Structure 1
Amino acid sequence: MDPIVFAMPGSERQAAAIAACLPGRPGDAEVRRFPDGESYVRLLQPVAGCEAVVVCTLDRPDAKLVPLLWLAAAAREGGAMRVGLVAPYLAYMRQDKVFRAGEIVSARHFAALLGASFDWLVTVDPHLHRIGSRGEIFARPAIAVHAAPAIASWIGQAVRAPLLVGPDEESQQLVDDIASRCGADSIVLAKQRFGDHEVSIDASVLPAAAGRMLVLVDDMVSTARTMLASARLLREHGYPAPVCVGVHALFAEAACADLQAVAADIVTCDTVAHPSNRIPVAERLAAGIRQALQAPAGSGDTL
């Protein structure tokens, strides 16, 4: 039986694209707020004996979390065989280490909240750099699909003679993967962060421009300070304005407008809805769902 794919508010387009790749049947649910701000959910079709899939990208996650958990509860109480979560962007994964006394590793607690309600999870490139594997924080099957194949395909079609640039050491694996897939050279800059809005970039590794088009790549763009500092540095060293490519288009405050002032173009995957979305990942997510539906409890993998 094909899975039933439910969309949380704001994720309708993603859910429809994923369902079309499975195949899957679109689900229908009512999700709204009472006048006092509490969440109300109701399934508008039966799910007994079915695989229920809930699509909810988790940017700005706090307001989404309670109705998401209520919808999972409704599917489970309605008799769904299993309830899975597709979160194209998975929040709180950056908070993966205690830096100062009194902090918590939010990634572990957020994973525990989701694991208590969902039988499996599929996401795109979660930002886990200090946690060795998803199995350390997710007790259920947790599958991360990579955006690199989709990004490499877009670069191969849209950019002539690309030189891929990673803004910091954390971007090394992503940049190298994309470069190998599209047959491009790549370099990675060195970054030092001084706070949420201040970074310093070292350009000592920059080669000569040599007529190549620079593609600056990072997994998420939030304040955009890292990309801004990198793009400005590249311009100072005689390079043309780079194409800025991000996996997750979070774009806090005026980040997108600031980046537009120094970039030739801004392109992102459609994990978070944004006008810069030009790289679809529905096929990658559908592949992850198919794997999750076949996975035994407690397993996880990367596509």
Structure 2
Amino acid sequence: MSRLILPLPGNETFARLLAAEGGWSMVESETRRFPDGETYFRILSEVKGHAVDLVCTLAAPDDQFLRLVFAADTAHRLGAAEVTLVAPYLAYMRQDKVFNPGEAVTSQTFARLLSATFDRIVTVDPHLHRYPLLSALYQIPADSLHAAPVLADWIAANVAAPLLIGPDEESVQWVSGIASRIGAPFEVLRKTRHGDRSVEIAMPDLSAHRLRQPVLVDDIASSGGTLIEAARQFSAMGLPRPICAVVHALFAGDAFALLSEVAARVVSTDTVAHASNAVSVAPLIARHLNTLPLRKES
């Protein structure tokens, strides 16, 4: 038995990188919409007895979910020994409790649906807040990989005299790890959120680091509000415009354009396909997949 890489539409570039890193073959498929809007899906390659890694980043989960389920179910029905979801970005981690009466706890519902569909999930830096581990949420093996080392290596190779900046107190451990890896100082901002797009940033005294290049690092950039506000304050303090390095480049609406106006550069990993992609996590995921035991066909 060997691993086979099956990309969903829009994930072909990442899947090819992953397959090349692992020396694995790609699975060909066909999908389209019927005139009534329903989805057609067909696997064109032989998958019987193989481990199938279905590659689909979940930056737009509502549009992708049914096709994702159809692909996994078809692979199982065709005799795949196991079907793993490789989701470089894993959605529906935000709503992890009831904040207002009657709300859906969507993180739990989504986890139940994926757990009933796949044998394993592999993802990168899910937004864990009230869950200590993905295993507290998912009923199948759920592996969370960390992009901090690959971001740190990019910063070390491309930024002279960096000063690492975390967006809030919750980022201390993450930012300090990157700083320690590359031997750079770090500071952490204090953030107060007033809404989805409104944040207040309290800056520490950075006068001792005026000769360094600020590098704002964050796990997810969606509205970009925190990064944009922080970047504006750097300029007001007479510091260089920051480089912004993020793991998941969601960048809703005009967020990327607004951030690009106040940042020296914006870079991201390729967990979500975006113009800012500069660091690939395909080698990270391939190395992990290579450590997983392959189940024999039942």
Decide: shared fold, TM above 0.5: yes
C-alpha deviation, 1:93, in angstroms: 1.1
C-alpha deviation, 1:111, in angstroms: 1.2
Structure 2: gaps (5+ residues): none
CA deviation vs aligned residue, 1:69-89 (integer Å, no higher than 9, x gap): 000000000011000000000
Partner of 1:286: 286
CA deviation vs aligned residue, 1:8-48 (integer Å, no higher than 9, x gap): 00000111111111221111111221121111110101211
Output the CA distance in 2 between the equivalents of 1:62 and 1:52: 23
CA deviation vs aligned residue, 1:222-275 (integer Å, no higher than 9, x gap): 010010111112222221100001100101000000001100000000110111
Output the CA distance in 2 between the equivalents of 1:288 and 1:14: 16
1:123 to 2:123 alignment: yes
Greater shift, 94-103 or 50-59, is seen at 94-103
Q: What is the aligned-residue identity percentage?
A: 48
SS in 1 for 2:163: strand
SS in 2 for 1:152: helix
One-letter code aligned to 1:195: G
1:39 to 2:39 alignment: yes
1:49 to 2:85 alignment: no
SS in 2 for 1:47: coil
1:136 to 2:136 alignment: yes
Partner of 1:175: 175
Output the CA distance in 1 between the equivalents of 2:287 and 2:145: 8
Partner of 2:211: 211
Q: Is the 8 A contact 2:197 2:223 kept in 1?
A: yes
Q: Is the 8 A contact 1:120 1:292 kept in 2?
A: no
Q: Is the 8 A contact 2:188 2:204 kept in 1?
A: no
C-alpha deviation, 1:144, in angstroms: 0.9
C-alpha deviation, 1:60, in angstroms: 1.3
Q: Is the 8 A contact 1:209 1:238 kept in 2?
A: no
Output the CA distance in 2 between the equivalents of 1:115 and 1:225: 33
One-letter code aligned to 2:283: E
Mapping for residues 1-303 of structure 1, pairs under 5 Å = 1-293=1-293
SS in 2 for 1:160: coil
C-alpha deviation, 1:205, in angstroms: 4.5
TM-score, normalised with respect to structure 2 = 0.96
Output the CA distance in 1 between the equivalents of 2:140 and 2:189: 36
SS in 2 for 1:201: strand
Greater shift, 100-109 or 79-88, is seen at 100-109
C-alpha deviation, 1:135, in angstroms: 1.1
C-alpha deviation, 1:207, in angstroms: 4.2
Q: Is the 8 A contact 2:167 2:217 kept in 1?
A: yes
Output the CA distance in 2 between the equivalents of 1:216 and 1:16: 30
Output the CA distance in 1 between the equivalents of 2:108 and 2:290: 25
Paired residue total = 295
Structure 1: gaps (5+ residues): 296-303
SS in 2 for 1:229: helix
Greater shift, 211-220 or 93-102, is seen at 93-102
Output the CA distance in 2 between the equivalents of 1:207 and 1:47: 59
Output the CA distance in 2 between the equivalents of 1:9 and 1:292: 25
Q: Is the 8 A contact 2:210 2:239 kept in 1?
A: no
Output the CA distance in 2 between the equivalents of 1:204 and 1:146: 27
SS in 2 for 1:117: coil
SS in 2 for 1:42: strand
TM-score, normalised with respect to structure 1 = 0.94
Output the CA distance in 2 between the equivalents of 1:169 and 1:205: 15
Output the CA distance in 1 between the equivalents of 2:292 and 2:111: 17
Q: Is the 8 A contact 1:144 1:288 kept in 2?
A: no
Output the CA distance in 2 between the equivalents of 1:162 and 1:18: 30
